[in-house]
Structure 1
Amino acid sequence: MSNTFVIGDIHGGLIALKQALERAEIKKNDQLIFLGDYVDGWNDSARLIDYLMELNTQYDCVFMQGNHEEMVLKWLRYEEDNELWRFHGGQSTVDVYKLLTREVKDRHITFFNSLREYYLDDQNRLFVHAGFTNPKGVEFEFFRPLFWWDRTLWETAMALDERLPKDDIRYPSRFKLYKEIFIGHTPVTRFGQNTPMHCANVWNMDTGAAFNGKVTVMNVDTKAYWQSDIVQELYPEERGRN
């Protein structure tokens, strides 16, 4: 019997990802759905991309694009740069990629270009890095970067009165479209949490790996989850980064 696992934001924490996957006891026939933000943070961003490409040859993997992949791809392809990106983890990625060959960079560019905007499975469960805004659903989203930048989906889910029935006209139509929605992008550590948060039918899987949180792997069906150690403790040489 195969299982489907969803993996939250990683931000260069390769050691943490390996640890979480090992604790989840992933099997060869399992499906792994990654929600994006693989890079920008800890110093293993490039090695992490190599590892993801290797995983893709061994497992049924689905890779979402995150906002950090968008920024790294712009830098790699067009040398498009900005201070804000570097401040929010991009500098570590720049430092690592400057040491790599053109061949490796091109291979990673190919990987970044292959990332999905979203993934909808056969049970009507939506996987997307950040969110969407169109009340008719993701296929009608006009401004595609919202898939990796939007925070209104999660903000609305957190603010929703749990007592409000789904047939009430005030109930957000976005939440009626899909059985469940799995996102990353907004760290739950902002709300004093370090495990996946569940509001309405939305699961937030960003458990703060970019900062003082962890990488999390969740079984989509059972909601059992496994976490790495605090990523900062796995990269003691970078302890003062955040």
Structure 2
Amino acid sequence: MRVLAIGDIHGCLGPLDDLLAWVRPEPDDVLITLGDYVDRGPDSRGVLNRLIDLKKTRPVTCLRGNHELMMLDAWRGGHSEKKMWLSVGGVQTLGSYGPAAGRTGTFEDVPADHWHFLQNELVDYHESDQFIFVHAGVLGGFEMHEQPDYALFWDFLGEAMRHRSGKTVICGHTSQKTGQPKVVPGAVCIDTYAHGGGWLTCLDAISGRYWQVDALGRKRDGRVDYRNGEE
């Protein structure tokens, strides 16, 4: 059994499909996606379709990212919320819902099952015996059910991220523009900048092996070591 975590996808459907085809999750593998499925990349609609379809065929734990929160806030809120969301990738997301070439989409073009997924199918974190999976981060002195939203969805990776449980934190959110997973004491970040010319990463949390695919279809793999906080 593997415990597979996929980092921030950001509308990059091609790399997601290539990564799943390469890693080939088995029925007994645990599969977790770390949030930020929408915005910035070219096909947020396709990514949500893929995740919704995937959940129909196998168990998948999909975490909530700050970009899902911003998309929902823009939909429910007023002009200022929508303007802010559009400035951080919402333009590309609505573009993926365009009903015809040359016309961008609107909130009315987003299917009902996508809104249901964003509102009801995502979780704030996932905790196992050895690991904590979260979009952004954790505060080390708080139990997971006590974590504030700003830590779970908005905090950036620092010099260390040690949780009181001693479990290794697997997170995204802090873009690693080097394209390499970033290991610090207590945590590893696998947001490897898929939308910006980097790589989409899948990490087996147990073995430390990772697989990566980029927008050109190139593949590479490697391994990280959590024991001493260094790659």
Deviations 1:103-162 (A, max 9, x none): 8532111101121111111x1410000012361232222x324311112xx2131xxxxx
Q: Does 1:186 align with 2:171?
A: no
Q: Which residue does 2:44 correspond to in 1?
A: 45
TM-score norm. by structure 1 comes to: 0.78
Q: Which residue does 1:115 correspond to in 2?
A: 122
Distance in 2 (alpha carbons) for counterparts of 1:89 and 1:210? 10
The verdict on how the C-alpha distance between 1:135 and 1:156 changes in structure 2, with shifts beyond 3 A counting, is: farther
Moved over 6 A (4+): none
Unaligned ranges ≥5, structure 1 = 158-171, 235-242
Distance in 2 (alpha carbons) for counterparts of 1:41 and 1:59? 27
Q: Which amino acid aligns with 1:222?
A: S
Q: Which residue does 1:129 correspond to in 2?
A: 135
The verdict on how the C-alpha distance between 1:228 and 1:79 changes in structure 2, with shifts beyond 3 A counting, is: farther
TM-score norm. by structure 2 comes to: 0.82
The verdict on how the C-alpha distance between 1:146 and 1:201 changes in structure 2, with shifts beyond 3 A counting, is: closer
Q: Compare 132-141 and 75-84 and name the one that shifted more.
A: 75-84
Distance in 2 (alpha carbons) for counterparts of 1:76 and 1:86? 11
- TM-aligned CA deviation for residue 19 of structure 1: 0.9
Deviations 1:12-70 (A, max 9, x none): 00100111122213223322100000000122101110100111112220010001000
Q: Does 1:75 align with 2:74?
A: yes
Q: Which residue does 1:219 correspond to in 2?
A: 204
CA root-mean-square deviation:
2.2
Q: State the secondary structure of the residue aligned to 1:54.
A: helix
Q: Does 1:36 align with 2:35?
A: yes
Q: Which amino acid aligns with 1:120?
A: E
- TM-aligned CA deviation for residue 8 of structure 1: 0.2
Q: Which amino acid aligns with 1:118?
A: Y
Spell out the pairing of 1:125-164 with structure 2 (5 A cutoff). Answer: 125-133=131-139, 135-141=141-147, 143-151=148-156, 154-157=157-160
Equivalent position to 2:195, from 203, 207, 210:
210
Task: Give aligned pairs, total.
Answer: 209
Q: Which residue does 2:25 correspond to in 1?
A: 26
Structure ranking higher in helix proportion: 1
Q: State the secondary structure of the residue aligned to 1:210.
A: helix
- TM-aligned CA deviation for residue 95 of structure 1: 2.0
8 Å CA contact 1:76, 1:105 repeated in 2? no
Distance in 1 (alpha carbons) for counterparts of 2:197 and 2:109? 33
The verdict on how the C-alpha distance between 1:198 and 1:224 changes in structure 2, with shifts beyond 3 A counting, is: same
Q: State the secondary structure of the residue aligned to 1:206.
A: coil
Distance in 2 (alpha carbons) for counterparts of 1:217 and 1:180? 16
Distance in 2 (alpha carbons) for counterparts of 1:120 and 1:228? 26
8 Å CA contact 1:29, 1:60 repeated in 2? no
- TM-aligned CA deviation for residue 185 of structure 1: 0.2
